A and B are shown apart, each in its own frame.
Chain A
Amino acid sequence: MATKKRYGFVIDVERCIDCRACLVACRAENNVEIPFTRIWVMDLGLKGGFPDLSQTYVPYNCMHCEEPPCVEVCTSAATYKDEETGLVLIDQEACIGCGLCVEACPYDVRYLDPKRGVVDKCNACAQRVEVGREPACVSTCLGHSRLFGDLNDPESEVSQALREARSVQRLVTDDVDPGPNIYYINGDVLEPAMLPREPRYTAAETFWRKLAIPAVVAGVGLSFLGQATFFIKQLLEGEKEFEE
């Protein structure tokens, strides 16, 4: 979906030191209750042999995809892609906590908050972005690993970083590519643990689409056609009033 702005993250994996200040900043900014979190850092483990060792940490959160499977599956558009900013947001007043989107998300970045009965995830601190500030995780990032901005704007910090990067990767596979808007630069993050899975759809949703809707359409359609036939007959033959 083409939006006016295309807010996204650029993450320089070379600069992440796994301090997890971003997790703390996110929790504080958005009142995310323990044990939940909207943001993670994946440790890909030691690589190579001594003395050529390397270790990569991959921060991740909602990818604010271009074609988000979570938005597509949401019954009511309680979760939606903002037309102005391109951010994938949740209207928690509208959310019924059915969890269809949690199953659908290929990156498993959504969770169901049982206390409030709604789904929660990264909203790129839309409340801060709206007033011209960066998301909490970005402004707190010690190593300046996390960048955030409008990917449609060639002058933005993220666009410049992408141009100057030695390498650019996105977490996609041949089968699953919802158009994630997190770009990883200057490092290899395409490990199996990071790659997206196929969107999952629940039995109830399949039942709805494959059985309930065709049955209702057929039932209502037949009933309407039957009624229409009699109505046309009534018009053609003229009305025979009951009272002669």
Chain B
Amino acid sequence: MSHGEYIPLAERKSLREKQIKKHNIANILTHWFNAGAGALLVLTGLGILFSPRLGIVPDLWLEFTRNVFGGTANLIQFHYTVGLIWIAVLTFNILIGFRKYFIPFARNRMLLDKDDIEWLKVKPLQMLGYAKDKGLPPQDAYNAGQKIYSYVVVIGAVLIGFTGLIVTFHKFVPWPWLIQWALPVHFGAMGMIIAGWIIHVYMGAVFPEEKEAFFSMFTGKVSALYARLHHSKWYWRYIAEEVEWEENILEEGRQLQKESAAAD
């Protein structure tokens, strides 16, 4: 696939060796916590949906989950408990991390710029086998597809969290209609996220070109080559910051030299 840039072999080799940091440890832990809690919640959540009128979960799974947990009430209790832990941990992480890790990068992570719009036009065509010769516009740390999906996840997670709380604390909800509507909204938001999640897992863990993205969710690092070809805007900003840092250090050194020369 064309990434619109030719890099000479020698440079390519050195770029492959060089690792640059994409995710900090907080992000990595939150990601895998989310994955684990999500898996438990989706599997037990589907197990709850017994009504034959809904008819989307095979009887086998409905029986199996009830057998594992010892009945409907225990299954639901487990779902509540994991859900509450999920909400608590995410809320805590957002509260402590929002200003430091999200606000400064929100523009690059969530807002769509001109290049992103162009990417959204070209990428689907390329996936269908057209416009192969057209280069993809440069992307930031997250590409336009990821940015769009992030909206689905954020809106979906908020809906799932709130509707989940309504059902968990149904005792304190005086309006049955609110509980009645919480259920399909909870389900619909889950479906919305799962639809994108299938692509997320395929791209992240199976699709060979994005292999580095997968390993970066463990090590936090990607190779400079991958960063430059897939997320060039982010890469060049990273390099600019590195150069600026180096210059600052050099400037500091020169300043010290001057001072000690003056002292002599």
A208 sits at the interface (CB 8 A): yes
Contacts of A243 in B (CB 8 A): 16, 223, 225
- Which among A96, A202, A208, A227 is the interface contact of B187 at CB below 8 angstroms? A208
Contacts of A230 in B (CB 8 A): 127, 202, 207
Max chain B C-beta neighbours (<10 A), residue from A94, A215, A226: A94
Contact B192 A219 (CB under 8 A): yes
CB-defined interface of B179-215 with A at 8 Å, one 1/0 digit per residue?
Answer: 1110110011011101110110010001111111000
Q: Give min CB distance, B3 to chain A, whole Å.
A: 10
If A75-B54, A204-B180, A220-B198 touch, whether A117 touches B225 (CB-CB below 8 Å) is no
Interface residues of B in 56-81 (CB under 8 A from A): 56, 62, 66, 71-73, 75-77
If A204-B184, A227-B198, A242-B211 touch, whether A97 touches B170 (CB-CB below 8 Å) is yes
Q: Give min CB distance, B53 to chain A, whole Å.
A: 6
CB-defined interface of A83-114 with B at 8 Å, one 1/0 digit per residue?
Answer: 00000000101101111101000000000101
If A75-B54, A76-B50 touch, whether A202 touches B72 (CB-CB below 8 Å) is no
If A223-B196, A242-B209 touch, whether A75 touches B49 (CB-CB below 8 Å) is yes
Contacts of B171 in A (CB 8 A): 97, 116-117
Closest residue to B171 on the A side, CB-wise?
A117
Contact A96 B210 (CB under 8 A): no
Interface residues of A in 166-221 (CB under 8 A from B): 202, 204-205, 207-209, 211-213, 215-217, 219-220
If A234-B207, A240-B208 touch, whether A205 touches B191 (CB-CB below 8 Å) is no
A24 sits at the interface (CB 8 A): no
Contacts of B172 in A (CB 8 A): 117
Contact A207 B176 (CB under 8 A): no
Contacts of B225 in A (CB 8 A): 243
Contact B177 A204 (CB under 8 A): yes
The 8 A-B residue pairs with the shortest CB-CB distance, nearest first, are A216-B191, A117-B171, A93-B73, A208-B184, A77-B50, A219-B195, A204-B180, A99-B176
Residues of B within 8 A of A (CB): 16, 48-54, 56, 62, 66, 71-73, 75-77, 127, 167, 170-174, 176-177, 179-181, 183-184, 187-188, 190-192, 194-196, 198-199, 202, 206-212, 223, 225-226
Given A117-B170, A222-B195, 20 more contacts at CB 8 Å? A73-B53, A75-B49, A76-B49, A91-B73, A93-B77, A94-B72, A94-B76, A97-B171, A97-B173, A98-B179, A114-B174, A204-B177, A207-B181, A212-B187, A216-B187, A220-B198, A224-B198, A241-B209, A243-B16, A243-B223
